[in-house]
Structure 1
Amino acid sequence: MARTTPHDPPQPDGRPLYWRVASLLLDELHDGTIPPGERLPGERHLARHFAVSRETVRQALEVLRRGGAVATDRRGSHATLPGAPVEDPASLTFPVGARPADPWAVDRATVAWEAPPPEHATALRLAPRRPTLVHRYRSATPDGRSLRTAVTSFSAVALAEVAELGRYRDRADGATPAQLRRAYDWMRRAGLTLHHRDSITQLGDTSAVRVTRRVHDQYARPLEITELVVDAEQDALVYEFTLPAAG
């Protein structure tokens, strides 16, 4: 049976200290301080945050794991409670060209583990036909006059450095919904400084344009490439990008 360490003071209500820490941490998961899918801070940070020993933090995390509130893999523990992530008002949505929340638009986004388009593989320095995480986005208005489609491929670096992206590999079946709107925030939280290069080209004699975004980090390592196609005659495309690394 789990027990607290001698470094932790006894509790007046008679319950082990790790139960109180588990309750406090669960409150932070419920109120969105740690959004669903986000990595939890490390044990050392949590020990300082709650003024307890690291052993007590481990015991509290075990309580939450048994209750299904957190899960742990080789990259650490992350929140698994259902619910929408808390949005940072200053964050940039993903992918490039994604609409703000629109109750009238029909959006669909999925991920697949597959070989990316050849030009994506070259940009991401992937071997030919090597699979990676590929994200597809489609947004259409009910009248069909405004259609946006985007295909994004992530590099091996992005999947290794950003735990939130790496966890999608096992469920990337091409059908499961996957709104990765906070992908750039996740990259920043992983300590990556994001640099982007966007190019816009017209598609033949049509009103449609293609926006190609390439993102790399402070070490010039490619992170992702997105190709968005949008009807410029019927729709307006506005985007910004200024995101230094977090912390």
Structure 2
Amino acid sequence: MARTTPRNHPTTEGTTEERPLYWRVAGELVGELRDGTIPPGERLPGERQLAAHFGVSRETVRQALDVLRRDGLISTDRRGSHATLTGLPVEAPSSLAFPVGVRTADPDAFDRATVAWEAPPAEHAVALGLAPHRPTLVHRYRSAAADGTGLRTAVTSFSAVALAEVEELARYRDRADGSGAAQLRRTYDWMRRAGLTLHHRDSITRLESGASVRVIRRVHDQYARPLEITDLIVDARQDALVYEFTLPAAV
């Protein structure tokens, strides 16, 4: 029997509990189309890559793509599926990748990132000026080489200022359940596009074991308001180092 897909848009109809899994995936894909993660006209990753990205089966991805195709948000030809949603031109990305320590693209490496709306670690709450136990957007990143070596784990918490000023980040609140994949690699570009000048301070120290390095990144804007803090642990050997720099706002 042929499968039919509802015509209602996944981001406007029903609650998360009422929707099948492919609707959630379709909604997250729409978000990435709108925030520029997948620019207009650019080819989407293949079904296998999308399945790994969202942590679902290829059949679920196929159903999600069918929803977006019916709504005219993507088109498919012999070269694959392409984003057709109208949006702003994507600027050249800054030299800074998010989160600190993120790996360059490696198809053989394990690479997973999620977001949740929850109370951040106590140290993060203090750094961001948040009241104890007040929830915010928390991003978690985990990556390792294909053989399991070089493990990197990072936890990032965003401030109320960042969520108020940066529309692309604020959109994640309603779908930040901690389960779906969420790549925020263009976070610093979004912040700059919102008119924020970024001041980073990265503290790098070697842990007592000598086998791992801890990096703590704090980001403020031109008004000294905290935007985010990231705590990264890298399986590597390196001496302590602290450096600072400023990335101007986009003009």
CA distance, structure 1, for counterparts of residue 84 and residue 216 of structure 2: 33
Deviation at 1:241, TM superposition (A): 6.0
SS at match of 2:96: coil
Task: Report the counterpart of residue 132 of structure 1 in structure 2.
Answer: 136
The yes-or-no answer on 1:184 pairing with 2:181 is: no
CA distance, structure 1, for counterparts of residue 104 and residue 244 of structure 2: 13
Task: Report the counterpart of residue 208 of structure 2 in structure 1.
Answer: 204
CA distance, structure 2, for counterparts of residue 80 and residue 158 of structure 1: 29
SS at match of 2:179: strand
Task: Report the counterpart of residue 92 of structure 1 in structure 2.
Answer: 96
What do residues 7-42 of structure 1 show as CA deviations (whole Å, max 9, x unaligned)?
xxxxxxxxxxxxxxxxxxxxxxxxxxxx82238xxx
Q: Which amino acid aligns with 2:200?
A: H
The yes-or-no answer on 1:195 pairing with 2:192 is: no
Deviation at 1:89, TM superposition (A): 4.9
Q: Which amino acid aligns with 2:147?
A: D
The yes-or-no answer on 1:36 pairing with 2:40 is: no
Structure of greater Rg: 1
Q: Is the 8 A contact 2:93 2:186 kept in 1?
A: no
Task: Report the counterpart of residue 234 of structure 2 in structure 1.
Answer: 230
Q: 1:89 to 1:241 in 2, by over 3 A?
A: farther
Deviation at 1:205, TM superposition (A): 2.4
SS at match of 1:205: coil
- Specify which of 150, 155, 158 is matched with residue 151 of structure 1: 155
What do residues 162-204 of structure 1 show as CA deviations (whole Å, max 9, x unaligned)?
0000000000000111000000000000000000111111211
Task: Report the counterpart of residue 214 of structure 1 in structure 2.
Answer: 218
Q: Is the 8 A contact 2:166 2:194 kept in 1?
A: yes
Q: Specify every segment of 5 or more residues in structure 2 that has no aligned partner in the other structure, as ranges.
A: 1-31, 37-70, 74-82
Deviation at 1:142, TM superposition (A): 1.6
Q: Specify every segment of 5 or more residues in structure 1 that has no aligned partner in the other structure, as ranges.
A: 1-34, 40-66, 70-78
Q: Is the 8 A contact 1:106 1:142 kept in 2?
A: yes
Q: Which amino acid aligns with 2:96?
A: L
Q: 1:90 to 1:129 in 2, by over 3 A?
A: closer
Q: Is the 8 A contact 1:197 1:213 kept in 2?
A: yes
Q: How many residues align?
A: 174
Q: Which amino acid aligns with 1:37?
A: R
CA distance, structure 2, for counterparts of residue 172 and residue 113 of structure 1: 5
SS at match of 1:36: helix
CA distance, structure 1, for counterparts of residue 188 and residue 100 of structure 2: 11
CA RMSD of aligned residues (A): 3.0
Tell me the TM-score normalized by structure 1.
0.64
CA distance, structure 2, for counterparts of residue 174 and residue 246 of structure 1: 31
Q: 1:233 to 1:200 in 2, by over 3 A?
A: closer
Alignment of 1:28-177 (within 5 A): 36-38=33-35, 69=73, 81=85, 88-177=92-181
Deviation at 1:113, TM superposition (A): 0.2
Q: Which amino acid aligns with 1:194?
A: L
Tell me the TM-score normalized by structure 2.
0.63
Deviation at 1:136, TM superposition (A): 0.1
Deviation at 1:146, TM superposition (A): 1.0
Deviation at 1:155, TM superposition (A): 0.1
